[in-house]
Structure 1
């Protein structure tokens, strides 16, 4: 009898889920296809929910859904041309001969988000092995992992997350231990399960041996404002910050500290505050940090190019000493930029016009990498561009000309979140090339359609 009762409960859940999903799909189709209430049909591309309260954003729900479905390619032609041109020459930073150098390999992934199910089986073995080969792996954990609370699973998606421990435990090295060296926990979902949810998440990460930066509670705060990680003679500083929270009032009700970049959401260019970030970079320099990394949850959802204000912030932080700046939050992959400082030379001076140049107080020739957004790493989102994520590899080495630690670009590897199907049985995080090859063999038309949709992003990383 108990078994029959459990089966009945399961079928009731499946029926309810199917009914809710159908209703949401009907509403979404209406929102993105038939609704034409906006005076300007492209007005939704300019809508940004960041920094708005739920009640402020709710009236623009249809705009939000349209932006999610269609995405925004809004950017000045000069910006699009700049990134297209620079992408052609960034291969120069992959051609450095490192045969006689001691190296340390880094891998960066984007938003590690809630998935409904399949936690212990979703990770493709090829991706796990690939990341295991890196000396250090970094990402953005955009969900609490509170083992005392339930994981939402009834609706297709949520605005308030919690995830199973296996979301991260699936990433294990052959010799044991988690693949992730350190994670940013500074994002708009940090307090989705409140202050206690964050505290339990931090305790879970500590047990897993994963370092964290970006947020802390009274019981987990330490003296350093950034992480210092040492490996084979190189000292790496890692610091994370976010534009804010979905519910900023939560910060006024507890003792949690979250690193923030003020003025980005909602965007107020004259109020963007970077002095605290300058202090962090200065402190890293005083602590003899060789490579300074900032992981910033910035920008705006579903936009394929960074806003001009975000580009300016990135360049200012590069000038202030950041060697590598990694971006997240947009849920789509955005371009990368390399900035050249203090007369850094390229094989041909004619190429310098394709790069932003700066001068700082050190006078030492150097370069800075800005990855504006890695997109989603794990996700249950529904559009191909939101299912696509980037693993950006970087190799650290000691320069023979300056005697200082430097970096060179490694492979840009794309992954794809395969749709879950029924009960998560098909859910897989695998390399995009493997996904599209398998899909094209089964359904050539679908393969061509998805490849066409993501091709503009892939081209900027070839």
Structure 2
């Protein structure tokens, strides 16, 4: 029994021990973790930068246009008075020629008058024209106004300075006269290129005494060979690409240039000018292309009247009705500009009850422009004017 009890005690002891050491395993059923697929990072959409503004493309060629003398005789001034406006409107005479003027990169014209608002308009011999005539030239498309001519001092120093002031106010470049202290020459930019201009007159119609000698010499370019040569040297030092001389010279109503014109014209080409354009004789003169081994260039001695009241009936000279617009075409070559083409456009002024109108003759007869009021008789007269003008420039080549 005692032995039996022993076994019982031993059994109880073993159970106690095993109870203390038994580990209860709980089967955990884990919820499966579904891993989200890695997001593939899309490349950020970058905003496209705004395109840089395109620089203006340089042109393949440039045109410079020259028109002749504008002489505001009183009949023209009166015809430009608009009673509805109660003021002058000087633009209508240019309506047919305006597209040609506007198409040029630089357009130059001779404003052969003075401005004195303290006086009324006057004609020959002492011209005085309202300022609105100059404003009209700006609106028509002219860029450069030649102000050195024999009528520069028709209204004294004040009349000359008023022209300078009006050019400045209306953003027109003037050449031939200047404020004291300014250079005699003008440099006109064309993209990265430069056009150099100088202008001189043979005289001032005896009005020289209206200014002191010092002022006159500083402000008005009267022909002096040493000054012309200095101007050409100065323009070359400024790095201009093409130099043009504008000359008010010669004998009135003479169709051939005189010896002094020819001698000085050729000398200016020898000095380094690339082209010479002249006016003052009130007729188109015979032109030439001057060439030596060292220098060459066209010399258009006179391009005649652009707008005037001079006619065969008033002047006894039918050629005073003829005008010539000259266009120079320049092209870039070896980092400078070279003359490549010249074109000549005869003009004629039609007078009628409707007023005055500058007619480009070649364009008219080719049908490019229309103008009412021209009958067969007038058309024949216009055709003769065109032929006479073309005869004067036929020795000058068109292409170079």
- Fold match (TM-score > 0.5): yes
Structure 1 residue 226 displacement after superposition: 0.6
Structure 1 residue 180 displacement after superposition: 1.9
Q: Does the C-alpha gap of structure 1 residues 251 and 171 become closer, same or farther in structure 2, counting only changes over 3 Å? A: closer
| 1: CA distance, partners of 2:372 / 2:137 | 28
- 1:385/1:454 contact within 8 Å kept: no
1:342-364 residue CA offsets vs partner (Å, 9 max, x unmatched): xxxxxxxxxxxxxxx242xxxxx
| 2: CA distance, partners of 1:420 / 1:222 | 46
2:137 is matched with 171
Once superposed, which parts of structure 1, at least 4 consecutive aligned residues long, lie more than 6 Å away? 434-441
3-state SS of 1:189 partner: coil
Equivalent of 1:181, from 124, 132, 143?
143
| 2: CA distance, partners of 1:230 / 1:411 | 22
1:380 is matched with 309
Q: Does the C-alpha gap of structure 1 residues 251 and 293 become closer, same or farther in structure 2, counting only changes over 3 Å? A: farther
Q: Does the C-alpha gap of structure 1 residues 329 and 358 become closer, same or farther in structure 2, counting only changes over 3 Å? A: farther
| 1: CA distance, partners of 2:373 / 2:170 | 39
- 2:177/2:184 contact within 8 Å kept: no
1:105 is matched with 63
**Matched ranges for 1:341-352 at <5 A:** none
1:144 is matched with 114
| 2: CA distance, partners of 1:415 / 1:398 | 30
Equivalent of 1:368, from 297, 305, 312?
297
1:372-401 residue CA offsets vs partner (Å, 9 max, x unmatched): 1111111111234223211100111122xx
Q: Does the C-alpha gap of structure 1 residues 239 and 162 become closer, same or farther in structure 2, counting only changes over 3 Å? A: same
1:10-58 residue CA offsets vs partner (Å, 9 max, x unmatched): xxxxxxxxxxxxxxxxxxxxxxxxxxxxxxxxxxxxxxxxxxxxxxxxx
Structure 1 residue 253 displacement after superposition: 4.2
Q: Does the C-alpha gap of structure 1 residues 323 and 210 become closer, same or farther in structure 2, counting only changes over 3 Å? A: same
| 1: CA distance, partners of 2:339 / 2:220 | 29
Which entry has the higher C-alpha Rg, 1 or 2? 2
| 2: CA distance, partners of 1:339 / 1:204 | 37
- 1:439/1:447 contact within 8 Å kept: no
1:244-277 residue CA offsets vs partner (Å, 9 max, x unmatched): 111144255473331112xxxxxxxxxxx51221
- The answer to whether the aligner puts 1:329 opposite 2:261 as a matched pair is no
Q: Does the C-alpha gap of structure 1 residues 358 and 331 become closer, same or farther in structure 2, counting only changes over 3 Å? A: farther
1:200-252 residue CA offsets vs partner (Å, 9 max, x unmatched): 12111111111112123xxx224322111111111111111000111144255
- 1:334/1:375 contact within 8 Å kept: yes
1:55-109 residue CA offsets vs partner (Å, 9 max, x unmatched): xxxxxxxxxxxxxxxxxxxxxxxxxxxxxxxxxxxxxxxxxxxxx9732211011
| 2: CA distance, partners of 1:309 / 1:191 | 24
Larger helix share, 1 or 2: 1
| 1: CA distance, partners of 2:382 / 2:59 | 41
Q: Does the C-alpha gap of structure 1 residues 456 and 138 become closer, same or farther in structure 2, counting only changes over 3 Å? A: same
Equivalent of 2:264, from 289, 307, 313?
313
Aligned length: 314
| 1: CA distance, partners of 2:243 / 2:272 | 7
1:31 is matched with none
2:79 is matched with 118
**Matched ranges for 1:408-423 at <5 A:** 408-421=340-353
For structure 1, which runs of at least 5 residues remain unmatched after alignment? 1-99, 262-272, 341-356, 360-365
| 1: CA distance, partners of 2:283 / 2:205 | 19
- The answer to whether the aligner puts 1:395 opposite 2:345 as a matched pair is no
For structure 2, which runs of at least 5 residues remain unmatched after alignment? 1-57, 81-88, 313-317, 395-400
Q: Does the C-alpha gap of structure 1 residues 451 and 318 become closer, same or farther in structure 2, counting only changes over 3 Å? A: same
Question: When the two structures are superposed, what TM-score results if normalisation uses the length of structure 1?
Answer: 0.62
RMSD: 2.6
**Matched ranges for 1:263-274 at <5 A:** 273-274=224-225
Structure 1 residue 129 displacement after superposition: 1.5
1:225 is matched with 184
- The answer to whether the aligner puts 1:195 opposite 2:157 as a matched pair is yes
Question: When the two structures are superposed, what TM-score results if normalisation uses the length of structure 2?
Answer: 0.71
